[in-house]
């Protein structure tokens, strides 16, 4: 756990009195501490300190960065996205408290519950009230308020009395309508239900986390909670959260008199409801439905942890009321946990596309909750060390999300005497290059992930790197998408970036011409060669970005281009900076926006002979020009462009970057000074105004052609 605020003696000093060295140390410590609190708060929902203490940490961190700007680097900047204290979630008081359910684990406990309900209502066995039975979704509950059919507020459950305002995030969830449809929508309707993630989506999110060396989520529920409680709604928007509506809070007029009727009304209003809800008239029907849902559990594609029974008649629900914090009219009938034990027969290392080495436990096949499991991810080297998993150990596995089973831990009594700690490979199994755990220079701590340093010579990484190389913000070679890159790589036509530029020459001499291959005709081969030729002149920042150096994003590439003015100058400095005490290292780290992490990555990249060779051979093929020169040659240079309406192929941000790259200015409003209006779908008043002023207007497609056709780009 992170140290408490009082653990650092420096913490007592006002920021104004910190020396450079003090500031560097404290910045690194704070960085780590804040990251740990963020992780606990967002991913584990288990904060260790109060919001006020957290805010104090952040404020101090920001004060230090304001006084010592050299400490700001890519990581601390990215951490700040949408995470400043002022943007923390506002609290929302639930007008109707959000309660929990009492649990039952056996059929007998369910029968006891039914007997209690009957006793309370003074009914005999023959006049049992009807119950709904539906899956208990393992996500997090959320209250969504609609006023006159419009979504006005969304809140998490919190402590049941007070939750957090997550309106902006909930608006990004596609399954949740912004506007209710259909007849008789109540004036005020607070819909309650569960936000959850499907297994396949969860697996994708975790694969991305692991690949990027970030902590993985333990299960879909945590991932859903972490995603919903993101301070930046743009992050939530990228996580495919879903929703089932099953209850309500404040309502001006209920649309039905029964539980089932209200849920059916929800569906008519356009809200997602669970298809497995049934009306049961006897205890046998209830238990049979429980078994049916249990049997389908592993194939539903999302986590459920039981079945919820609710008295159907709302008048009876009102009579039954509540005991402490749970309704007397409802019960959660839980499923047994899906766990099993099995031996680890081997540990296999997979190499991800960015070089991350991911260990996978090969298990003796075992059935966990109805599904045969034979592989389980061990995430990364640190995770194996932390759990001390060894080959030969018998481990407990749990299906968290059914797709990737988790290894919870090993059983000590069953450890064979011969089992020795797992020796994680130090060489990449795909290419034999050294695989290293980078040291974060600010914290002095090792990365959790070991990565292959082979870069482009590693087949596992090459395709992904090549894709990056030709991507829109790098070389932007039209007609050379992911599929073709993969094909060319497999066929041995393109293994390194420089090969792209010799493709045409080699093709001329080849006996198996591109145009004769499946999927290519004469025109498409010609177009591809032309598109490649058009990129023989490239702006320096794009060139640097295209190399795919770790931590060098577009913004950093721009800074590097501005500072060094040529690839050679950057390379020379990075090579000289291998000696950390020399001037070159201080030059690198003193560049605006470049911290030690980036500097380290640059040194590492140019340290490798094969990377220097790629750069050298590329420079023989392409001519690198300054970003300004690239923009000046453009037909759009000096023009003012306005984007309006919704763009479908590219984001607004991307469109803006494209225009700026071509030397154009992007404005938000149309005036006489506007030269060009790009109108996406359902463009409104701005388009009308442009027409009125006689300004040239084009659609998205024409914009893309225009932007791509400009030769100097
Ligand atoms: S009804 C007053 N129905 O379970 C009762 N809850 O342990 C309101 N849950 O906080 C809840 N699926 O997050 C209900 N079909 C379902 C549910 C469900 C999941 C969750 C909900 C609640 C918790 C109670």
The predicted-structure confidence for 226-248, as pLDDT tens digits, reads as follows: 899 888 888 888 899 999 999 99
Highest mean pLDDT among 2-6, 49-53, 477-481: 477-481
143 in Cβ contact with 163 (< 8 Å): yes
- Ligand 1 atom having least distance to the Cα of 327: 2
Give the pLDDT confidence score for residue 286 in this predicted structure. Answer: 98
Nearest to 538 by CA among 662, 608, 419, 627: 627
> Average pLDDT, stretch 489-511?
93
The alpha carbon of 375 and the centre of ligand 1 are apart by a number of angstroms equal to 32
539 in Cβ contact with 626 (< 8 Å): yes
Identify the residue whose C-alpha is closest to ligand 1 atom 15: 136
The CATH fold of domain 103-334: D-amino Acid Aminotransferase; Chain A, domain 1 (3.30.470)
Nearest to 575 by CA among 615, 540, 608: 608
Residues 273-309: tens digit of each pLDDT: 999 999 999 999 999 999 999 999 878 999 899 999 9
Rounded Cα distance, 608 and 618, in Å: 16
Identify the residue whose C-alpha is closest to ligand 1 atom 2: 99
Q: Which residue is associated with the tokens 């794009």?
A: 542
The residue with greater pLDDT, 479 or 571, is 571
Q: Enter the DSSP assignment of 541.
A: H
Which residues fall within 8 angstroms of residue 337, CB to CB, at 6 or more apart? 398
539-630 CATH choice from 1.10.486.10, 1.10.150.20, 3.30.430.20, 2.30.30.100: 1.10.150.20
Residues 167-205: tens digit of each pLDDT: 999 999 999 999 999 999 999 999 999 999 998 998 888
Give the pLDDT confidence score for residue 457 in this predicted structure. Answer: 79
Torsion of CA 555, 558, 562, 564, to 10 degrees: 110
Give the pLDDT confidence score for residue 401 in this predicted structure. Answer: 46
Identify the residue whose C-alpha is closest to ligand 1 atom 12: 136
pLDDT band for position 337 (50/70/90)?
low
Rounded Cα distance, 67 and 61, in Å: 10
> Average pLDDT, stretch 252-277?
97
- Average pLDDT of the chain is 86
Give the pLDDT confidence score for residue 25 in this predicted structure. Answer: 73
Q: Do domains 455-535 and 539-630 have the same CATH topology?
A: yes
The proportion of the chain whose per-residue pLDDT surpasses 70, expressed as a percent, equals 90
- Ligand 1 atom having least distance to the Cα of 274: 15
Q: With a threshold of 0.75, does the pTM exceed it?
A: no
Identify the residue whose C-alpha is closest to ligand 1 atom 13: 141
Rounded Cα distance, 94 and 116, in Å: 29
Give the pLDDT confidence score for residue 321 in this predicted structure. Answer: 93
Give the pLDDT confidence score for residue 214 in this predicted structure. Answer: 75
The residue with greater pLDDT, 267 or 298, is 267
Give the pLDDT confidence score for residue 27 in this predicted structure. Answer: 78
Q: Which residue is associated with the tokens 């259909």?
A: 182
Give the pLDDT confidence score for residue 508 in this predicted structure. Answer: 92
Rounded Cα distance, 4 and 144, in Å: 36
pLDDT reading at 76 higher than 90: no
pLDDT reading at 333 higher than 80: yes
> Among 273-277, 318-322, 480-484, 654-658, which is the least confidently predicted range?
654-658
The CATH fold of domain 455-535: DNA polymerase; domain 1 (1.10.150)
Catalytic residue list: 136
The CATH fold of domain 633-708: Rossmann fold (3.40.50)
> Average pLDDT, stretch 303-330?
93
Residues 111-169: tens digit of each pLDDT: 999 999 999 999 888 889 999 999 999 999 999 999 999 999 999 998 889 899 999 99
Please report which residue ranges of 81-166 form alpha helices under DSSP H.
107-121
The residue with greater pLDDT, 22 or 81, is 22
Q: Does domain 338-436+444-453 correspond to CATH entry 3.40.50.360?
A: no
Give the pLDDT confidence score for residue 370 in this predicted structure. Answer: 61
Give the pLDDT confidence score for residue 231 in this predicted structure. Answer: 82
Highest mean pLDDT among 77-91, 272-286, 642-656: 272-286
pLDDT band for position 85 (50/70/90)?
very low
The alpha carbon of 108 and the centre of ligand 1 are apart by a number of angstroms equal to 21
Give the pLDDT confidence score for residue 47 in this predicted structure. Answer: 55
> Among 31-40, 49-58, 210-219, 298-307, which is the least confidently predicted range?
49-58
From the CB of 330, is ligand 1 less than 6 Å away? yes
Give the pLDDT confidence score for residue 130 in this predicted structure. Answer: 97
> Among 32-41, 191-200, 419-428, which is the least confidently predicted range?
32-41
The residue with greater pLDDT, 456 or 600, is 600
pLDDT band for position 259 (50/70/90)?
very high
pLDDT reading at 673 higher than 70: yes
The alpha carbon of 139 and the centre of ligand 1 are apart by a number of angstroms equal to 9
> Average pLDDT, stretch 83-98?
71
The residue with greater pLDDT, 396 or 19, is 396
Among 45, 94, 101, which residue has the most ligand 1 atoms within 8 Å of its CB, making it the best to mutate? Answer: 101
The alpha carbon of 330 and the centre of ligand 1 are apart by a number of angstroms equal to 9
**What are the structural domain ranges in the chain?**
9-79, 103-334, 338-436+444-453, 455-535, 539-630, 633-708
Rounded Cα distance, 196 and 224, in Å: 6
Other beta carbons less than 10 A from residue 119's beta carbon: 9
Identify the residue whose C-alpha is closest to ligand 1 atom 16: 136
CATH of domain 9-79: 1.10.287.610
């Amino acid at each position: 756990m992170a140290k408490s605020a009082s653990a650092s003696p420096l913490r007592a000093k006002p920021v104004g009195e910190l020396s450079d060295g003090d500031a560097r140390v404290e910045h690194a410590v704070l960085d780590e501490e804040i990251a740990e609190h963020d992780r606990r708060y967002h991913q584990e929902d288990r904060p260790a300190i109060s919001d006020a203490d957290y805010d104090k940490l952040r404020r101090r961190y920001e004060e230090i960065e304001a006084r010592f700007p050299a400490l700001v680097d890519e990581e601390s900047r990215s951490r700040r996205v949408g995470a400043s204290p002022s943007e923390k979630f506002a609290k929302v008081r639930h007008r109707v408290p959000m309660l929990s359910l009492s649990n039952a684990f056996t059929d007998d406990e369910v029968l006891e519950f039914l007997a209690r309900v009957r006793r309370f209502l003074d009914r005999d066995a023959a006049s049992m009230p009807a119950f709904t039975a539906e899956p208990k979704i393992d996500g997090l509950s959320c209250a969504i308020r609609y006023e006159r059919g419009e979504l006005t507020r969304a809140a998490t459950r919190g402590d049941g009395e007070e939750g957090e305002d997550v309106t902006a995030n909930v608006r990004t969830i596609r399954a949740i309508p912004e506007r209710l449809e259909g007849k008789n929508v109540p004036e005020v309707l607070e819909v309650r239900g569960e936000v959850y993630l499907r297994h396949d989506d969860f697996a994708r999110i975790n694969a991305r986390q692991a690949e990027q060396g970030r902590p993985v989520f333990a299960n879909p529920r945590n991932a859903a909670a972490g995603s919903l409680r993101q301070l930046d709604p743009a992050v939530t928007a990228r996580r495919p959260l879903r929703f089932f509506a099953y209850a309500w809070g404040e309502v001006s007029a209920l649309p039905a008199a029964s539980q089932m009727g209200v849920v059916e009304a929800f569906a008519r209003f356009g809200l997602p409801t669970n298809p497995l809800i049934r009306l049961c008239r006897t205890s046998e029907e209830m238990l049979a439905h429980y078994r049916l849902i249990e049997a389908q559990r592993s194939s539903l594609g999302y986590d459920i942890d039981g079945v919820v029974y609710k008295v159907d008649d709302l008048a009876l629900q009102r009579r039954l009321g509540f005991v402490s914090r749970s309704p007397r009219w409802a019960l959660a009938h839980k499923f047994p946990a899906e766990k099993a034990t099995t031996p680890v027969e081997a540990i296999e290392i997979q190499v991800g596309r960015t070089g991350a080495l991911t260990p996978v436990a090969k298990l003796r096949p075992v059935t966990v909750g109805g599904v045969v499991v034979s592989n389980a991810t061990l995430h990364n080297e640190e995770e194996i060390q932390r759990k001390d998993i060894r080959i030969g150990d018998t481990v407990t596995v749990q299906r968290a999300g059914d797709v990737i089973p988790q290894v919870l831990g090993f059983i000590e009594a069953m450890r064979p005497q011969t089992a020795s700690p797992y020796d994680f490979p130090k060489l990449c199994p795909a290419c034999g290059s050294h695989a290293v755990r980078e040291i974060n220079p600010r914290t002095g701590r090792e990365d959790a992930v070991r990565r292959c340093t082979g870069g482009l010579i590693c087949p596992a990484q090459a395709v992904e790197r090549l894709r990056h190389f030709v991507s829109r913000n790098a070389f932007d070679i039209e007609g050379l998408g992911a599929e073709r890159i993969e094909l060319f790589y497999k066929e041995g036509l393109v293994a390194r970036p420089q090969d792209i530029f010799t493709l045409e020459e080699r093709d001329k001499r080849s006996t198996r011409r591109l145009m004769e291959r499946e999927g290519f005709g004469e025109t498409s081969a010609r177009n591809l060669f032309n598109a490649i030729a058009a990129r023989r002149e490239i702006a320096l920042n794009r060139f640097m970005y295209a190399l795919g150096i770790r931590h060098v994003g577009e913004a950093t590439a721009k800074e590097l281009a501005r500072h060094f003015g040529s690839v050679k100058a950057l390379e020379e400095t990075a090579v000289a900076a291998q000696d950390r005490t020399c001037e070159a290292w201080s030059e690198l780290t003193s560049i605006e926006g470049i911290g030690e992490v980036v500097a380290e990555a640059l040194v590492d990249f140019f340290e490798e002979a094969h990377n220097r060779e790629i750069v050298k051979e590329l420079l023989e093929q392409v001519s690198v020009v300054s970003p300004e020169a690239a923009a000046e040659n453009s037909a759009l240079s000096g023009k003012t462009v306005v984007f309006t309406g919704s763009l479908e192929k590219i984001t607004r941000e991307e469109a803006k970057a494209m225009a700026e790259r071509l030397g154009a200015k992007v404005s938000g409003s149309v005036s006489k000074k506007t030269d060009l209006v790009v109108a996406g779908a359902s463009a409104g008043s701005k388009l009308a105004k442009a027409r009125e002023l006689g300004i040239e207007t084009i659609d998205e497609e024409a914009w893309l052609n225009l932007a791509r056709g400009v030769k100097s780009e």
